[in-house]
């Protein structure tokens, strides 16, 4: 059965609701409208006003409609992408609070990893980078937790694959380059010179980058290195490079 909201029957049994699972109301309404009806066009995303204007009884199917859970997720993902970074940030803040993260009203990309305090602008920047990877706001933490807390452990398979002497020796040289970068420390300024430094030394880009990402994320998947290091800052970057060396050896 499909329940838009949590529902409890007379016997005390509770059935989960799509709202409680993190679906946006407007995405679910859009989905329900498309069950057994189509507008006669390829359009699938409608706001309420558009639905009211497009509806026609002639386009209602006589056969039974079939609910598709995967299509429901697709609708939610599309609606998530349509929302502003500010709206998604406001929805993400309660999730951060559950994980002991404080979001301040300070302007600028302030990040204090020791106090676990981050500015609203910092959080919104992260949201703008990760929202295309998520279906639900609740997934933001799993996708980007490393941008708020340092990894305490490392994926075993990724560590075995990338944390090898021939790789991490080069990774620490790249770390020195990043730490000594004297230009304005932004992704736009760092990304090009970083790639030129690695390619200029004819080092294996993939192995070096995944080695660095393992140190910063705890796994070989995540945002680009230039994105991560300019967000967390040089001090936190150096701390994570030191921690992985002590943990996995170098």
**194-216: pLDDT as tens digits:** 999 999 999 999 999 999 999 99
Task: Kindly provide the b/e burial profile for residues 133-154, where b requires at least 16 CB atoms within 10 angstroms of the residue's own CB.
Answer: ebbebebbeebbbbbbebbeeb
Q: Report the pLDDT value the prediction gives residue 4, as an integer from 0 to 100.
A: 83
What pLDDT score was predicted for residue 216?
98
Q: How far apart, in whole angstroms, are the C-alpha atoms of residue 13 and residue 131?
A: 35
Residue 163 has pLDDT above 90, yes or no: yes
pTM beyond 0.85: yes
How confident is the model at residue 65, as a pLDDT?
Answer: 83
DSSP designation for 24 = -
- Average the pLDDT over 180-196 and give the result: 95
CA–CA gap between residue 205 and residue 202 (Å, rounded): 8
Q: Which two tokens stand for residue 196?
A: 């030129």
Residue 144 has pLDDT above 80, yes or no: yes
Backbone angles phi, psi at 153, to 5 degrees: -150, 175
Other beta carbons within 10 angstroms of residue 38's beta carbon come to 16
Task: State the Cα–Cα distance between residues 12 and 27, nearest whole angstrom.
Answer: 29
CB 110 within 8 A of CB 63: no
Q: What is the pLDDT of residue 66?
A: 85
List the one residue out of 90, 96, 98 whose CA is nearest residue 124: 90
């Amino acid at each position: 059965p499909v329940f838009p909201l949590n529902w409890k029957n007379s016997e005390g049994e509770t059935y989960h609701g799509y709202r409680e699972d993190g679906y946006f109301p407007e995405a679910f309404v859009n989905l329900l409208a498309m069950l057994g009806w189509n507008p006669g066009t390829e359009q699938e995303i409608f706001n309420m006003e558009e639905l009211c204007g497009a509806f026609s009884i002639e386009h209602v199917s006589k056969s039974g409609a079939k609910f598709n859970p995967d299509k429901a997720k697709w609708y939610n993902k599309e609606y998530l992408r349509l929302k502003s970074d500010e709206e998604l940030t406001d929805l993400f803040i309660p999730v951060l609070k559950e994980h002991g993260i404080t979001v301040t009203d300070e302007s600028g990309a302030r990040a204090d990893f020791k106090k676990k305090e981050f500015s609203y602008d910092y959080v919104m920047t992260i949201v703008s980078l990760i929202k295309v990877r998520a279906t639900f706001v609740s997934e933001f933490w799993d996708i980007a937790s490393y941008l708020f807390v340092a990894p305490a452990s490392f994926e075993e398979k990724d560590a075995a694959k990338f944390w090898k002497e021939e790789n991490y020796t080069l990774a620490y040289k790249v770390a020195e380059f990043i730490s000594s970068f004297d230009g304005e420390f932004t992704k736009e300024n760092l990304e090009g010179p970083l790639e030129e430094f690695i390619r200029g030394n004819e080092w294996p880009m993939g192995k070096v980058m995944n080695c660095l990402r393992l140190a910063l994320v705890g796994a070989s998947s995540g945002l680009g290195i230039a994105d991560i290091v300019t967000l967390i800052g040089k001090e936190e970057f150096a701390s994570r490079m030191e921690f992985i060396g002590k943990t996995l050896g170098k």
